[in-house]
Chains A and B, each alone.
Chain A
Amino acid sequence: MPFKKLAVTAAVLLICVAAERTAHHFYGPHGELTRPKTDSSRSKGKLDAPLWITEYMDYQCQTCAQVYPLLESYLKERPGQIYLQVKFYPLAGHPHGETAAVYAECAARQRAFWPYHETVLARQAEWVFAEDASPFFRQYADEAAMDLTELDRCAADPATRAAVQAEASAARALGVRGTPSFFIDGKLAVGEKEFKETMKAYFDNKGAR
């Protein structure tokens, strides 16, 4: 085998790796998600629980709705051991995802996030194909005994939508591209299967210690 060809091959490989590393530095994920230091109205569990989970979700995502009861069961089965925080990452292809998140943010400001969150996910089939899903979100807010005048003011405020979009941008910078994406003790797990695998590994490992 000609030495020159091998040398050129090695040089091309080195250039490829260097180009990828350089591009990764500029366009790859930046920063890391750290354990929340302050409690939020979109969280469950004790802030100092041994395991913290941040879920990036989209209300129109089917898997997000499927995974919610699973999250609840983990929280119930392991009281005091998990701190869960929900963040928004509405997907571009889901027309109602962002509006649902805007209403959820408004619900959080009225300390009614969890009943609203649970209802929107549990009754996803009702609104997912609607042309305008807002009346459904208002109805769920009403059922959660929220102040509807305040809700309408909050949902119409461009600052609320901007806050949701800023949260999604921050997620994108961390490398989130789909939902549900979980940061489990800071480690990324995407989708239901990986979530289950990571949780199993965490608790198996903890049991072995």
Chain B
Amino acid sequence: MKKFADPFFLARAALGALFVFSGFQKLMQPSENLLAVIHTYALLPNAAAVPFSKILPWAEYIAGVFLILGLWTRLSLAILWLSNTAFIAALSQALLRKLPLGACGCFGDAVTLSPKKMLVVDMLLWGVFFLLWKWGSRAKQPSLDAAFDPK
């Protein structure tokens, strides 16, 4: 029971839950809504934005579940950290270019945060990702990986 109170496990599970929520919210509505949000960042051409709007919610949801369970922990962490870094880059360039963003659309329409607030949240999350990556072996306890992978 004690290992479930470990701060690394709690941080891993909370991070996973956050991305499950984020992905799930987006999956419960037509992908065209996310596509419109992606277009407001004026980064991707339509040919890339359309598949991205369909893949991103699934990636967040599945990798989030895997992170909570500790299944392919390192890979899930890498995928979510990469998407978190991409969000930070997209938000920063949009703010620098003074693009009319409105709400960031990061959590569908369940939570509406201003782009500046979301940037702060994303940067804090980046720090959590960094800690989990650096102390990966501790973050892997308890996990399904620990049950399957050779010691």
List chain A positions with a Cβ less than 8 A from chain B.
Answer: 2, 4-5, 8-9, 12-13, 16, 20, 23-24, 27-29, 62, 93, 175, 177-178, 181, 188-191, 193-194, 197
Cα separation A16 to B45 with both chains bound (whole Å): 30
**B100 engages A8 (CB within 8 Å):** no
B98-130 vs A: 1/0 string, CB under 8 Å? 001001000011001000000000000000000
- From B24, B112, B144, give the contact of A93 (CB < 8 A): B112
Give which listed residue, B30, B35, B61, B69, contacts A175 with CB less than 8 A: B30
Chain A: minimal CB distance from B27 (Å): 6
Residue B39 interfacial (CB < 8 Å): yes
B128-151 vs A: 1/0 string, CB under 8 Å? 000000000000000010001100
Q: Which residues on A sit within 8 Å (CB–CB) of B39? A: 191, 193-194
Residues of B within 8 A of A24 (CB): 27-28
A193 to B149: give the CA distance in the assembly, Å: 48
Interface size class of B (residues with CB under 8 A): 20 to 34
8 CB < 8 A contacts A-B: A12-B66, A16-B65, A24-B27, A62-B100, A177-B108, A178-B33, A188-B32, A194-B32
Would A190 and B32 count as touching, CB distance under 8 A?
Answer: yes
A27 to B40, CA, bound (A): 26
B residues lining the A interface (CB < 8 Å): 24, 27-30, 32-33, 35-36, 39-40, 46, 61-62, 65-66, 69, 71-72, 100, 103, 108-109, 112, 144, 148-149
Query: Residue of B at shortest CB range from A193?
Result: B39
Mostly helix, strand, loop or mixed at chain B's interface?
Answer: helix
Q: Which residues of B contact A62 (CB under 8 A)?
A: 100
A154 to B28, CA, bound (A): 36
Point out the residue from B27, B36, B71 that lies within 8 Å of A20, measured CB to CB. B27
B28: chain A residues at CB < 8 Å are: 23-24, 27-28
> Sorted from nearest, which 9 A-B pairs have the closest CB atoms?
A190-B36, A191-B36, A5-B148, A175-B30, A193-B39, A188-B32, A190-B32, A177-B33, A177-B109
A177 vs B33: C-alpha distance in the bound complex, in angstroms? 7
Q: Which residue of the partner chain A has the closest CB to B57?
A: A20
Cβ contacts under 8 Å, B30 to chain A: 29, 175, 188, 190
B65→A28 contact, CB < 8 A: no
State A62–B62 Cα separation when bound (angstroms): 36
Q: Is the interface of A mostly helix, strand, loop or mixed?
A: helix
Residue of A nearest to B144 (CB): A8
Q: Give the CA-CA distance A178 to B108 in the complex, in Å.
A: 10
Point out the residue from A13, A190, A193 that lies within 8 Å of B33, measured CB to CB: A190
The 8 Å CB contact of A190, one of B35, B61, B144, is B35
Nearest chain A CB to B121 CB, angstrom units: 19
Q: CA–CA, A178 to B100, complex, Å?
A: 14
CA distance A28 to B72 in the complex (A): 29
How far is A15 from B111 in the complex, measured between Cα atoms in Å? Answer: 26
Residues of chain A within 8 A of B32, CB atoms compared: 175, 181, 188-190, 194
Bound-complex Cα distance A5 to B148 (A)? 6
Docked complex Cα distance between A159 and B62 (Å): 45
A4 to B28, CA, bound (A): 32
Distance (whole angstroms) from the CB of A57 to the closest CB of chain B: 14
